[in-house]
A = this chain, B = another copy of it.
């Protein structure tokens, strides 16, 4: 339908990526483990780690180049690494009118390119991002504060997995109807009615991605690639503290688009200074028909309320609970929970916040344990995990922003309640400017109104609450009620009782949260794997959508039919 479709590179890309696309569609239906992007850093070659670091360093303290991108001459930026390094990168700035004009001009050819071409281009973008996973690791690390190993995996291949998953869903959804179908309706003795019907995917318009500080790629790629694969040019508005990973993404996307014969402005960057409000302006522009957002509940609610011209996909805040009823592997439980609370300093939307523990204690393979013993042993497990500073910083990463640091300090000062585990400042050997804190564990009582007010609010960061509850039944009801009223991105539980497990499953289904049961090994409640686990449910206040299901992609386009007699 356009010159772009016949560009020689497009056919080559389709050939190159067809098998991966088909495997991804298949994997999303089967839900077994699958990924085309290796998660082990060494898989990328001998020199990849050094090359990636050098590539990252070459980006620092200079303007970020985006050839052909709208620009008014201003450079904006000011990212400072949570590890204490100023990035010193200036990104090209352009006003909303110029950005939207550029995206609008790029729209028709991209909208007409069709699902297979768009999927192939998207997979080429992902492949090039994948090849630069080491570079992305540093970019993610120094904007989010994630430890290097996590920044590599979660910011690299795991984020790419989520992007590919979105492309696979988008492709499958767009190809459910044939491009053309014959229709023959018998008319008794008369000649049948015969028609040809063509079904064409019509993208919605322009898409806006509003990125978050903590997982710019992992939480950004699903919406970005879902919109792109369904034919909607995407304006990427990164969090002002985490621009670089998405700016790199935009640059790579533009390179691939241009090589494939498309206007690179199919993907643009809306960088701004911290404290800017361009997201609010862009979100209500009539041209913006799709918005993907991860961040605070306040702004997410504002988007849902005000961006009425757009389909809005939000992931907001929640309060995640773990019900601790009983376990056949006490040590495994403690170690698993300790890691879950410590990973990235609890700065994940899926980190458990409230550990709901019967005040009468729990049964374990090591005998009955009182509430106090469980709390003390969990505190010890966290301390053990983080006793070595090098290992601690490799798990904790760095504190991403002053709000998180303030909550850690408040916990340390006893503001939330009695401390079972005090946070500790950890020195970072490589980055002395890094702000690193171990988790705080605070003892609260579900039956005390003041305590309830504390643990029923989100306390984002390395602060968790060991909440004493009347009994397991009360814990299950508290889980249900917390999910319903506060929302949750994850839930977990430990029990050896089939009856309790059934009650937990019922509460999870009823309140609409996914549940991890009895995790004692190398899988954690805060982690979900693309092609197998859904991230969020869209069934409770924490999010109105999930990565990734049919609903995440089905309304990013519409279908127009042209029919005529054959």
Q: Complex: how many Å from CA A537 to CA B558?
A: 6
Task: Tell me which of B184, B185, B512, B560 contacts A514 (CB under 8 A).
Answer: B560
Q: Complex: how many Å from CA A516 to CA B177?
A: 18
Cβ-defined contact, B513 with A560, below 8 A: yes
Question: Chain B: which residue is nearest A108 at the CB level?
Answer: B510
Residues 152-210 of A contacting B (Cβ, < 8 Å): 173, 176-178, 181-187, 193, 195, 197, 199-200, 202, 204
Between A193, A518, A537, A564, the greatest number of chain B beta carbons within 10 A of the residue's beta carbon is seen for: A564
Q: Complex: how many Å from CA A561 to CA B202?
A: 32
Question: Chain B: which residue is nearest A180 at the CB level?
Answer: B31
Asked if A48 is an interface residue, CB under 8 A from chain B, the answer is no
Kindly list chain B residues whose C-beta atoms are within 8 Å of the C-beta of A551. Answer: 551, 554-555, 558
Between A193, A199, A551, the greatest number of chain B beta carbons within 10 A of the residue's beta carbon is seen for: A551
Cβ-defined contact, B533 with A563, below 8 A: yes
B-facing mask of A239-266, CB < 8 A → 1, else 0?
Answer: 0000000000000000000000000000
Cβ-defined contact, A181 with B532, below 8 A: yes
Q: So how many copies of this chain end up in the complex? A: 2
Task: Tell me which of B33, B508, B512 contacts A184 (CB under 8 A).
Answer: B33
On whether A197 and B31 interact (CB within 8 A), knowing A537-B202, A549-B559, A565-B521, the answer reads yes
Asked if A529 is an interface residue, CB under 8 A from chain B, the answer is yes
Kindly list chain B residues whose C-beta atoms are within 8 Å of the C-beta of A514. Answer: 560-563
On whether A564 and B532 interact (CB within 8 A), knowing A29-B176, A202-B537, A522-B187, the answer reads no
Cβ-defined contact, A532 with B31, below 8 A: no
Asked if A280 is an interface residue, CB under 8 A from chain B, the answer is no
Asked if A368 is an interface residue, CB under 8 A from chain B, the answer is no
Between A513, A533, A559, the greatest number of chain B beta carbons within 10 A of the residue's beta carbon is seen for: A559
Between A177, A184, A187, the greatest number of chain B beta carbons within 10 A of the residue's beta carbon is seen for: A177
Cβ-defined contact, B537 with A31, below 8 A: no
Question: Chain B: which residue is nearest A112 at the CB level?
Answer: B509
Cβ-defined contact, A546 with B517, below 8 A: no
Kindly list chain B residues whose C-beta atoms are within 8 Å of the C-beta of A549. Answer: 176-177, 554, 559
Task: Tell me which of B197, B518, B554, B562 contacts A532 (CB under 8 A).
Answer: B197
B-facing mask of A500-518, CB < 8 A → 1, else 0?
Answer: 0000010011001111111
Asked if A459 is an interface residue, CB under 8 A from chain B, the answer is no
Question: Told that A546-B558, A551-B555 touch, could you supply 7 new A-B pairs with CB distance under 8 A?
Answer: A176-B550, A195-B523, A509-B560, A518-B564, A523-B565, A550-B550, A554-B554
List, sorted by A's number, 22 A–B pairs whose CB atoms are closer than 8 Å.
A29-B176, A31-B183, A32-B181, A32-B184, A33-B183, A183-B529, A183-B532, A187-B522, A202-B512, A202-B537, A505-B562, A513-B560, A515-B562, A516-B564, A517-B563, A518-B565, A533-B563, A534-B559, A537-B558, A538-B558, A539-B560, A555-B555
